[in-house]
A and B are shown apart, each in its own frame.
Chain A
Amino acid sequence: MLKVNQLDKTYGQDKHSLKSVSFTAQPGEVTAIIGPSGAGKTTILRSVNQLIRDDGGQILLDDQDIRQANKAELRKIRHHIGMIFQNYNLISPLTALENVLHGRLGAKSTLAGMFGLYSTAEKTEALALLTEVGLKDYAYQRCDQLSGGQQQRVGIARALMQHPKMILCDEPIASLDPKSTKIVMDILRQLAREKQLIILINLHQIDIAMDYADHIVGINDGAIVFEGPTEQVNEAVLQKIYRQSADAKVKVAANES
């Protein structure tokens, strides 16, 4: 279980600050963080694995506080947190298989990592994961020759290669077409159910969040304004989450139709 307690963050001039953010995310569930642009969605997600250093609070993953970890411990914790990105962030001249194998680098010694020495078991597992996300035939393709949706699936396989407890998804579908969006979101939900992973997603598409998330965290201007099961999200809640933001009315309107 991921438990975030009273997380605070201030960037210089109060920009994108987090104000005492608290929420929980359960294994086996898809938790979506929604809110207007600039509300702090990405800051929250990146604080969870400490890519961004926050100013105060607690981040408990299975009762271990990530914020208290020293450098070596943090690396170990990070190894068990997968992350996928809006722009996939794969190493594009390498093959899909090599990118998936990168998920094991965190568990290796410096030398084995430098030279990319992988065991047969690891290679077999990587290929199996690629098969699982439906990319077996693309294992030896360079990643920059894959479509966006395929690259994102390679990203998911790379995250799974880490044997994660949790996968953080930073706007995973923002650059994808509807069909790829569905494939990627289906995979993520399935992973939560079957492998009992914590899936924490930043989304700006409300309809996708409503369709796929079990648990919604609504954020506005750095503060949590709603947390609860997706069924409880209604018009009033959405108004609260998107209030006073330029694109709020457009999004609510799009959601209604």
Chain B
Amino acid sequence: MIENSSSEPKIVKPKVPNTERISLMTKPRLILRSVLAVLGLVTIYSLVTIDMAGLKLKDAFHSLGLNLNAMFLHPNVGQDSWSVLLRGLSTSIALTLLTTLLGAVIAFFIAVFSARNLSPTWVANTLKAVMAFIRSIPTIIWVLIYSAVMGLGANAAVVGLTFHSIAYLVKAYSESIEETPQATIEALKASGVRFWPIIFQAILPSIVPALLSWTFIRFEINFANAVAVGAAAGADDIGYYLFMASGFYFDFHEVGLIVYLLLGFAIILELISMRLRGHYLKSN
């Protein structure tokens, strides 16, 4: 017999609420709105009081048009030759590949120790704090810091880019690791498997798609950084030529060509990443 333990449910009439004022304005909402209002006021004030410095809008737009025309409709190699520019581009790509791969491998091992489900909390938290500190300083600053230590050039660029990549990827990887279900790890632990085999046989296969996509995003970021860093640290890559063409020779034709080269590579990257993910997801 299945007994129904509770007796007949009673129907209780809801009390009619008092006619007190009901406010939807909670404290966080109030703060948000006042911040937005203040920002709006500041914007209006600065627009009204802006110093035009004798700017003639018509002339300005005219010369902007001329420059864009020179850059994007009449690109050419300018001072340098095709071979120099392509070598510069390949230097940038090599720089990107090297720093991303180095960063990925080192970051994976650090991520294992900064994942809360694998390491003692204090180790994980300390590592995460250090990585957050490194991340909070832009890549380019790290490259300049290392340039001060190692001298200008490709070495400082490699170390600086790798350094920041590690900090970035550790965060992404360790969060992926923390998302693997504890139960699957436990299943292998229960059969007497050691720590590193569990990492490589259980956790790694589960998070490969996440690792792939994070690493690829970092690859793109590193490419943009490599171009910027090339100019700053004199790594003799495409960024350096871009910097010289735009800042020294004012050769907008060459700037345009370099921008097209970068754009082309970015498109190729995007295609590869789409293929890679598509292939990976399909074959599994």
Contacts and interface: CB of A to CB of B under 8 A. Distances in A.
A106 B284 contact: no
Contacts of B192: 74-79, 106-107
Among B190, B201, B205, which residue has the most Cβ atoms of chain A within 10 A?
A: B190
B205 A49 contact: no
Interface stretch (B8-16, B74-82, B96-104, B180-188): B180-188
A83 B188 CA distance: 9
B208 interface: yes
Given A79-B191, A113-B193, A89 B284 contact: no
B189 interface: yes
Contacts of A106: 188, 191-194
A245 B197 CA distance: 43
A123 interface: no
Contacts, number: 91
A238 to B, nearest CB: 15
A106 B181 CA distance: 20
Interface string B229-272: 00000000000000000000000000000000000000000000
Given A102-B201, A250-B2, A83 B196 contact: no
A81 B192 CA distance: 9
B184 A116 contact: no
Contact of A253 (B1, B181, B188, B199): B1
A72 B198 CA distance: 16
A114 B187 contact: no
A108 B190 CA distance: 15
A90 B191 contact: no
A71 to B, nearest CB: 10
Contact of B206 (A91, A105, A114): A91
Interface in B67-117: none
B202 interface: yes
Given A91-B201, A105-B201, A116-B200, A83 B187 contact: yes
Interface residues of B, number: 27
Contact of A249 (B3, B187, B194, B197): B3
A250 B284 CA distance: 44
A104 B114 CA distance: 28
A114 B191 contact: no
Contact of B194 (A77, A81, A110): A110
A108 B197 contact: yes
A78 B190 contact: yes
A95 B136 CA distance: 41
A74 B284 CA distance: 35
Contact of A94 (B193, B195, B205): B205
A87 B205 CA distance: 19
A91 B195 CA distance: 16
